[in-house]
Chains A and B, each alone.
Chain A
């Protein structure tokens, strides 16, 4: 039975910009970016970062906007329909689009769990329970007394106990129940916001939360910048903190901690890993090719501007990352903990959930800052995770032609099955790490190659240029399509090959040796088989019915004449 939904659209241009920017702004901006800058040459890292922004982020994101709006105009809102219609209704491309749905599907399964950590920490700070005396109370163990203040031990133990990193199934015990309840709450609000629709749910929420994120970040930056040198120790002032992050030349230490030389700008720039890290960061940060941007763009009105909207969303994300993320996390860690805090900069989780709580403990008004910081992370995470729920819901609506409510329920049910693996197998956070590596790092690179190849070589640069220019309120550069085809695509392929050669073998071996990782991959293969079957069946039905529109509104003939 055909259930023909009416078309949805964004209410305003500002709304869509904030929603897309909100989708991109997340933990990567505030925790991953500063850590990467410190680890890959400070200020020198910014050169490959800006090059990647210009060659990868802006052109590929623009092509994703164009593909999305083109598909939306034909009534398709999921990547399945987008790949299918942009490729000239090729079955193979449609199936690739359908399979790319595994990315938002799986990322959301662990991302909402991390989102729940942020909310949980924010509530703990708000309730005044994330103090040394409160740790024993919170965990019910009472064995935290006498631990070194600011050593990281307390918060590391708190983090491990809270997230269940010590043993599997910990969240299903009495001690883990609060975080489990928080996780269920986060899943519910994500699906509820998507159920309310693009304009009434996602757009309204993004418009309210974006200023809140900015306000929280400004409070944090002002607090940090006005502290001076709080402990009065040499090398631990606000400027020293900034220098630790941004200085392009730095001392090189040997294994025993002695200075053995000084790395120059060129040392960083001539290291391929710096370029790899910069591209991966921009990729991760702008949320390219994880099906979020194209799905959001498919709800833009046919003649609305996408050039300015796309550029504004990327610019907003970059503002949050470089300006807010760059000033907020590292300087206070250096000011209060000194350079020993640098051990925690390589991992986002360690910086956010272990190093910074130590800093808040020592900082005047630290409890308030702790609440503001984790509430900021939570708000940014919700806007990101709901952008991953929408493609899933859109996909089911197209595949089953069911109502929004039914797709939301189906998406939530499958989500809970996959999320159960992450929530149960918490020991060492192995399941979460496995999902994170394969779906937030590997799969987006892979599907970016497919998507950029589709836009540049199958759909074609002429259509790409035409689509970007349609309704544009700024003059998009005419060479943009050329850049996508001859610079972004090869750059992406080279980086992906280099990245895979560096990381893939080790990860495959690690996955083969751990049963939890194997289970996670097993679930993924099942999901992939499900997506494949559903894509094949849906395309077959579209072809059998002779319709070209996702909702069966226009005929093949009409569509061809329009093209």
Chain B
């Protein structure tokens, strides 16, 4: 594995894991608000 390979792999993984991690964090943080909206029960048949 060359230096270029390390750089491209690390940068790609960092971007994707960073975005995924940020979204997970936001989902967890906002979950309480989401739960507060939830009482409207699903009305599917």
Contacts and interface: CB of A to CB of B under 8 A. Distances in A.
Interface of A: 5-14, 17, 42-44, 46, 49-50, 197-200, 239-240, 242-243, 245-249, 265, 301, 303-305, 308, 311-312, 315-316, 318-319, 321-323, 326, 404, 473-474
Secondary structure type dominating chain B contacts: helix
Contacts of B15: 50
A7 B34 CA distance: 19
Contacts of A323: 13, 16-17
Given A312-B23, A323-B13, 10 more contacts: A8-B43, A8-B44, A13-B30, A199-B44, A239-B1, A247-B5, A305-B30, A316-B20, A322-B12, A473-B34
A240 B30 contact: no
A318 B5 contact: no
Interface string B1-36: 110111111011101110110111011001101100
A42 B8 contact: yes
A46 B11 contact: yes
Contacts of B43: 6-9
B7 A474 contact: no
B42 to A, nearest CB: 4
A329 to B, nearest CB: 15
Contact of A46 (B12, B23, B34, B38): B12
B43 to A, nearest CB: 5
**Size bracket, chain B contacts:** 20 to 34
Contacts, number: 122
A308 B13 contact: no
Contact of A305 (B2, B9, B34): B34
B4 A265 contact: yes
A154 B30 CA distance: 52
A105 B37 CA distance: 34
Given A248-B8, A326-B12, A243 B1 contact: yes
Contacts of A326: 9, 12-13
A410 to B, nearest CB: 17
A323 B30 CA distance: 26
A197 B8 CA distance: 43
B33 A473 contact: yes
Contact of A6 (B13, B34, B44): B44
B44 A249 contact: no
Nearest to B19: A315
Secondary structure type dominating chain A contacts: helix
Most B C-beta atoms less than 10 A away, residue of A9, A13, A246, A301: A246
B29 to A, nearest CB: 8
Nearest to B6: A246
Contacts of B38: 11-12
Nearest to A309: B27
B7 A43 contact: yes
A308 B26 contact: yes
A315 B8 contact: no
Contacts of A249: 2, 4
A311 B25 CA distance: 12
A12 B42 CA distance: 10
20 contacts: A8-B44, A9-B40, A12-B34, A17-B27, A43-B12, A49-B12, A197-B44, A242-B9, A243-B2, A245-B9, A247-B8, A304-B34, A304-B37, A308-B27, A315-B20, A319-B16, A322-B16, A326-B9, A326-B13, A473-B34
Most A C-beta atoms less than 10 A away, residue of B19, B24, B31, B38: B19
Nearest to A200: B44
B31 A13 contact: yes
Contacts of B31: 13-14
Given A246-B5, A248-B4, A249-B2, A315 B45 contact: no
Nearest to B33: A473
Contacts of B16: 315, 318-319, 321-323
B23 A316 contact: yes
A86 B10 CA distance: 42
A373 B13 CA distance: 21
A404 B44 CA distance: 10
Contacts of A200: 42, 44
B26 to A, nearest CB: 6
B17 A8 contact: no
B23 A43 contact: no
Top-8 shortest CB links A-B? A43-B8, A243-B1, A247-B5, A312-B23, A8-B44, A246-B9, A473-B30, A319-B20
